[in-house]
Amino acid sequence: MKLVQWVTIIVSVGILTGINYLLEENINPYVIRVVVNCGIGMILAMSLNLVNGCAGQFSLGHAGFMGVGAYTSAAITTVLALSPFFKTDMGVGCAIVIGGLAAALAGYLVGLPSLRLKGDYLAIVTLGFGEIIRIIFLNIEEVGGARGLPGIPPKANFFWVYLWVVITFVALLRLLRSSYGRAILSVRENEIAAESMGINVARYKVVAFVISSFFAGIAGGLFAHFQSFIDPNSFVFNKSVEAVIMVVIGGMGSLSGAILGGIIVTVLPELLRIFEQYRMVIFPLILIVLMLVRPMGLLGHKEIWELFRKKASS
């Protein structure tokens, strides 16, 4: 890596630490909670964007992958607790990565049917998968079953969540700006043409699923270690739908759009609390209006900096 990259890394870690300090010292816990949930939403949306937006597959089971990551990492830090190491910052970090890997494995298994199914049919299969995962956790007494799993070390704070936001963003952007990324995009654009140009379409569908579910698993792990309590209801079908909304609102295939979608879908319902019982009437209305005004999502297929570049040139 180049010097510039090292400097960027050090500076961004510094900035994150700074904001983290300011937040924890001065801001009320409610705001911190919303900001951190935003970060988790961003990771979830960016990861789903790879499958739904970039590879052109339709997954409705993202909460399932998040659940696998959450339960795996939480099990490591609480139930299994192999060593005191897993109660420390670094230990929790490792547990979250292991959770991500477990989710990636699940992504591989779900990616396989996507080779034969398209569109709505694939959506149903992934939906089914998400529900199966939830029911499995519901029935494993060792991780609390329906009562949920309490006492997870609350180590995921603003700093760790946003560090992962940055990692996810950079990793996925670099993936998309590479030959592998072009291969994944070509699958979305035209499968038959991609095959004829020597792209192993089946392989890249699975690759998209695996990488996507890894980051969804990370989001789950962060969620678990932020809330310090998870139960199967945290990963219901609604959560998957929420992730799809984030991606669609932001603009399919746009990473910065996914980030924007993550913020909107997390923050908007909080801002609407002033409307009290009408909150969940107004929120969907806003979504409907958004979709009518910009059917391609806020950023379309473009990244936010591309929009500005175009404006500058014209």
Cβ within 8 Å of residue 133, ≥6 positions away: 61, 64, 67, 68, 106, 235
Task: Tell me, by CB under 8 A, how many residues bind other proteins.
Answer: 27
| Residue 190 binding other proteins, by CB under 8 A | yes
Compute the distance between CA of residue 264 and CA of residue 249 in angstroms, rounded to an integer: 8
Q: Supply the minimum distance, in Å, between the C-beta of residue 178 and other proteins.
A: 4
| Residue 200 binding other proteins, by CB under 8 A | yes
| Residue 1 binding other proteins, by CB under 8 A | yes
Angle between helices 201-227 and 158-176 (to 10 degrees): 170
| Residue 312 binding other proteins, by CB under 8 A | no
Q: Which of 100, 253, 257, 261 binds other proteins (CB under 8 A)?
A: 253
Compute the distance between CA of residue 175 and CA of residue 51 in angstroms, rounded to an integer: 13
Q: Supply the minimum distance, in Å, between the C-beta of residue 122 and other proteins.
A: 20
Q: What track of x and - describes contact with other proteins for positions 6 through 35 (by CB under 8 A)?
A: ------------------------------
Q: Supply the minimum distance, in Å, between the C-beta of residue 262 and other proteins.
A: 22
Comparing CA positions, the residue from 313, 268, 275, 307 lying closest to residue 290 is: 268
Tokens for 309?
């570049």
Cβ within 8 Å of residue 204, ≥6 positions away: 55, 180, 183, 184, 187
Is the separation of the CB atoms in 94 and 73 below 8 Å? no
Q: Supply the minimum distance, in Å, between the C-beta of residue 80 and other proteins.
A: 29
Q: Check the CA dihedral 309-298-223-210 and report its sign.
A: negative
Q: Which of 11, 27, 197, 288 binds other proteins (CB under 8 A)?
A: 197
Compute the distance between CA of residue 46 and CA of residue 215 in angstroms, rounded to an integer: 8
Q: Supply the minimum distance, in Å, between the C-beta of residue 208 and other proteins.
A: 12
- Which residue's CB is nearer to other proteins, number 105 or number 171? 171
Is the separation of the CB atoms in 69 and 102 below 8 Å? yes
| Residue 259 binding other proteins, by CB under 8 A | no
Query: Which span sits near other proteins by CB under 8 A: 118-126, 150-158, 170-178, 279-287?
Result: 170-178
| Residue 180 binding other proteins, by CB under 8 A | yes
- Which residue's CB is nearer to other proteins, number 23 or number 163? 163
Task: List residues binding other proteins (CB under 8 A).
Answer: 1, 5, 171, 174-175, 178-180, 182-183, 185-186, 188-190, 192-201, 253, 301
